[in-house]
Amino acid sequence: MSIIIITGSCGLVGSEATEFFSSKGFDVVGIDNNQRKKLFGKQGDTNWIKKNLKKRYKNYLHFDCDIRNRNSLEKIFKKYKKNIFSIIHCAAQPSHDWAYNNPRLDFEINSLSTLNLLELTKKYCPNSKFIFMSTNKVYGDSPNYLKSKEFKYRYDLNKNHMYYKGINENLSLDKSVHSLFGVSKTYADLIVQEYGKNFGLKTVCFRAGCITGPAHSSAKLHGFLSFLVKNITINKEYNIIGYSGKQVRDNIHSKDLINCFWEYLKKPTSGEVYNIGGGRFSNCSILEAINIVRNLTDINIKITVMKKPRVGDHKWYISNCSKFKKDFPKWKQFYNTKKIIEELVDYSKN
């Protein structure tokens, strides 16, 4: 069992996973049809990543396959069958705004495609490990009712608040307003869990906060931190959407996230779910991120502010990773927000 199938293999998480597992000697089968370019235009184009991966790794095999097409996917699963060690499902339609105007296609990409992959896993390689890249948006806007306090540059909770160290997996998915993107990912999240619990597949959902890194083909509608740095260093401007820029995000580097995958694969379970992100170790508000970039570059930044936030957007969100750390104590984080932004700024200069 030496094959790892990675969907969205040319995206941020998928390409990081491809590099990691290719370097460890696995044969990586990448599935990516560059849908990001169709969704977000030239900025979302991941073709440059595909070229780099094919050039650098002889054990990387690429398929320009649409994950909505079950017949195309089945040919891949049927070819490798029980040699498939793991399926790492990173492909997604990731934008709130895009989903709002295209709900059917959003559902097909995020929900139906996940069901396709689970069915094929059950049929051809039931002993493999299925890793699903979920999102904190499954919680809808519930985090906005945690009575955060407004400070000069951010919203935050009191230190004695039960969620001060971050939001754990016990927060309800119900009785909240979701973005349509959040809904399609919630379906996928739940069906991944239930294929573990109902059929015994080794499945796990990672509900991530903001994932980032230099390999991100970020665009206006997706990729908060990477796009912020790119837009400031290139265009010297940034448009804040809602909450006066004081909304807080936790930021996990794609390398730290892939190490979560590796720890899970060494000790897999069925139907598990973990909140994963930067936590208290790595988080910032938009204003704080702008200030870090300003201090690193001395750029005079033009800031515009839109008062109305996006539907279901979080005013404050920090992940509590305690459950994962308890189950996998060898996992460590290496990138805090400042280190992440420093890397993004350096990368933008090249």
Q: Give the span between the Cα atoms of 290 and 163, in whole angstroms.
A: 26
What's the whole-number mean pLDDT along residues 228-249?
A: 91
pLDDT digits (tens, 9 = 90+) for 298-310: 899 899 999 998 7
pLDDT on residue 62: 97
Q: Does the structure show a pLDDT above 80 at 223?
A: no
With tokens 């919630």, the residue in question is 186
Cβ-based neighbours of 343, under 8 Å, separated by 6 or more: 213, 214, 335
Phi, psi of 63 (to 5 degrees): -120, 125
Do residues 237 and 228 make contact, with C-beta atoms less than 8 angstroms apart? no
Do residues 300 and 236 make contact, with C-beta atoms less than 8 angstroms apart? yes
Q: Look up the CATH number of the domain holding residue 36.
A: 3.40.50.720
Q: Where would I find the beta strands (DSSP E) of 97-209?
A: 129-135, 149-150, 155-156, 202-208
Total domains present in the chain:
1
**Domain encompassing residue 228:** 3-348
pLDDT digits (tens, 9 = 90+) for 19-69: 999 999 999 999 999 877 777 777 778 888 999 999 999 999 999 999 999
Do residues 321 and 274 make contact, with C-beta atoms less than 8 angstroms apart? yes
pLDDT digits (tens, 9 = 90+) for 123-172: 999 999 999 999 999 999 999 999 999 999 999 999 999 999 999 999 99
pLDDT digits (tens, 9 = 90+) for 273-287: 999 999 999 999 999
